[in-house]
Amino acid sequence: LRLRFGSRPFGSRPSKAKPERMARSHAHVSCVAPRRHGKQAAAAARVASWCSSSAMIKRRGAEMQAADADAAAGAGVRQHVTLSARGWLPSLCCCIPGILLFSMMFVVVIAALVAPTAFYIIAAALTAFSIAWSSNLSISCVFGAYRMRRDCGKDWHSQLQQMQKQSPDGENEVMHIVILPNYQETEQMMLHTLENLGRAPLARSSIHVVLAMEEREASGRDKAERLISRSSHLFAGILATFHPHGLMGEIAGKSANCQWAYRHAMQQLAPEIARFGASRVFLTVGDADTLWHPQFFSALACQALEMPEHERKWTIWQPPVLLLRNLFSVPGPTRVSAYGTILFELAGLANQIFSSHFCYSAYSLSLALAANPMVSGWDSDVIAEDHHMFCKCYFAALWEQIEGQSSLADGGPEARALVPKVQLQPVYLPAISYLVESDDGWMASSFARFQQARRHSQGVAELSYVLLQYALLLHSVGASMLPRRTHTGILGIAGKMATVHIINQVQAFAMVVTTAVLVPGVLAWLWAGGLSELMQAVAAQGLLGTLSAQTFGGIRWALVAIFGPLPPWSLLFTATTYIVIRDALEGKLTQGTACSAHDSQLAAPDVQGSAPSAKGLAASALSWYQKLKLLVMIEVDSLNLGELTLLLYGLIPVTMAAWSLLRHGSKFEYVVAAKPK
């Protein structure tokens, strides 16, 4: 193994970028519209003067490089672990998910061809594991749904105001920076997102919005200027950054755009940030269509300020992400994937006993964590920016402990205290987003969802990343220097990723093979009159007696053992999903109590199918017929389209992603999801 320390990424070559290229990359100055008061106005004036001087732009580029060098020197040992590095270890880690997936598929096929009994046992075991996994999710989802309904009924902003009154010295004052990466999104949708942010009670005093635009979008600058002009009165500040295309070592996508916006926001907002401690400045990343609960930022501040500072700076906050904004206009399989997201997100937040949950889509962290020398913001060469950021921060805490322990080489007792510090804290106030949908019809929407599933499946590379980080840790300090808690934490993360991306997909593949094996036999059995014989046996002996009389090698035993009766967990899942969607339709999950203080227009209903009430901030209650119709729709979708959804948006995309990772490493292409106009 070979480790490279310093300010360069692990395994990377020194940059050969031309000076004028580097100066150009820093010349994309942001459009700024902050609320100016006193010193902040002077700082904004200085920023505006920088924007008009090309000489100053070049000097800013040089200052940024010098600051990076100083930070690297002050941080001591810095290690940037990346799958893009050259060497046999990153390449091996990239191969492991594909090797596991395809070797297990190979075993299933061989067993089906040469050992049918062994094949049925394997398929039944995989299905039993899948049912156990799903049952755990279904039960945990109930607790998550209960906590979400409970916390949506609290007035978090009043609690925050009480905390701030008890600390007149300003120690409980906070600052929020919301980064919205976007590319070719409709202006109206982004305006709705901004207006929804403006409903937050903290918007005008504490929230700064960063529109993270892409330079390659032709109309991006004009769109950003119009959005800033129409919404600047809602926030403490709003600015736009423009991520240049084709920077060396980057994969165009959300992560690279986030990093560019983060670095420029730190420069633009430096005067405001200086008023707060780094642990009281919170960075929130979301999508262009994310609608946060109006009290989310107040709840985040309350939870964070109640923590000791040393815990706060290693915490990531995650709301439940509900893909419900266009639930009733998308194809059925896409709708089923929304049900699955409800299940996975609420269960993952409510039950983190076996493994921590991961960041997903919209999440928050402190500036102290993002600016930690072992983190240094977002990586620009990854696709699954949310999962990757969690894993990166998780291992950054361990690397920081290794660096800070001078007794490590002597094997002192301090060296054994390398324990995980990063925790993912739920904030049970939902963030609601769109499902993928095309305006070109059912087939186009289904294909757009498949394209998004391909991008999501590229998150299988994060399993390789976790294995690479773990291998480097073991090489650096040895397995005995890591306590059991650290080993189980890392293996729990890897196991959760392997379950989602590999084991569940192998189970789906086994069901496909089972169908292929059973269909010819079933057809032959029907042709030979087996159905009439079965009906006569059932009439004479009853259903249970007939089934018990079958041999274990028979086709009917295989059908019962592998597919089984309707499991109880599916009914529990249906009931929980129904309650969550009904609450969203009736406005119970999105109402805000402090909205009347704002001079913005009232946001439109957050979920398709909801009806505005007289107040305009919530939706009216559903009738009994609408409730019954919703419940039946969820159950029919789940029963009829569940397996098809798993194949189209699970097995096939994951297989393609694992094959690409096996052959080409972590070089993926970011595909932007289509949304309704």
What is the 3 state secondary structure string of 191-214? HHHHHHHHCCCCHHHHEEEEEEEE
Of 23 and 187, the one with more pLDDT: 187
Backbone φ, ψ for residue 173 (5° rounding): -80, 145
Residue 594 has pLDDT above 90, yes or no: no
- The C-alpha torsion from 144 through 466 and 432 to 582, rounded to 10°, is -30
In whole angstroms, give the CA distance from residue 569 to residue 619: 30
Close Cβ partners of 579 (under 8 Å, ≥ 6 residues apart): 145, 149
Cα–Cα distance for residue pair 304/171, rounded to 1 Å: 12
Q: If you search the block for the tokens 């969802």, which residue do you land on? A: 449
pLDDT at 432 over 80: yes
- Residue 205 is predicted with a pLDDT of 95
> Over 80: is that where the pLDDT of 545 sits?
no
The answer, yes or no, to whether residue 663 has pLDDT greater than 50, is yes
Sheet holding 175-181, edge to edge: 31-32, 237-243, 207-214, 175-181, 281-285, 363-366, 315-318, 423-426
pLDDT at 655 over 90: yes
- Write the pLDDT tens digit of every residue in 83-108: 988 899 999 999 999 999 999 999 99
Kindly state the tokens that stand for 380: 């620009």
> Tens digits of per-residue pLDDT, 141-162?
999 999 999 999 999 999 999 9
* C-alpha span between 99 and 527 (Å, rounded): 41
Structure tokens at 6: 């310093």
Residue position matching structure tokens 């580097």: 22
Taken in order 183, 189, 192, 193, the sign of the CA dihedral is negative
Count of CB atoms situated within 10 Å of the CB of 286: 23
Return d(Cα 433, Cα 291) in angstroms, integer: 6
pLDDT at 411: 52
Q: What is the CA radius of gyration of the chain?
A: 27
Q: Which of 145, 179, 123, 222 is nearest to 506 (CA)?
A: 123
> Which two tokens mark 490?
């890392």
Q: Hey, is 274 helix, strand or coil?
A: coil
Task: Work out the percent of the chain whose per-residue pLDDT is above 70.
Answer: 75
Alpha helices in 306-407, H assignment, sequence order? 309-312, 332-350, 367-370, 385-404
Least confident stretch, 309-318, 460-469, 476-485: 476-485
Residue 352 clears pLDDT 90, i.e. is over it: yes
SS3 call for 671 = coil
Looking up tokens 């089934």 gives 547
Tokens linked to 627: 């409730």
pLDDT at 479 over 50: yes
pLDDT at 602: 36
Report the mean per-residue pLDDT for the chain: 82
CB-CB contact of 666 with 444 (8 Å): no
Query: Regarding beta strands 281-285 and 175-181, do their DSSP bridges make them parallel or antiparallel, or are they unpaired?
Result: parallel
pTM > 0.85: yes or no: no
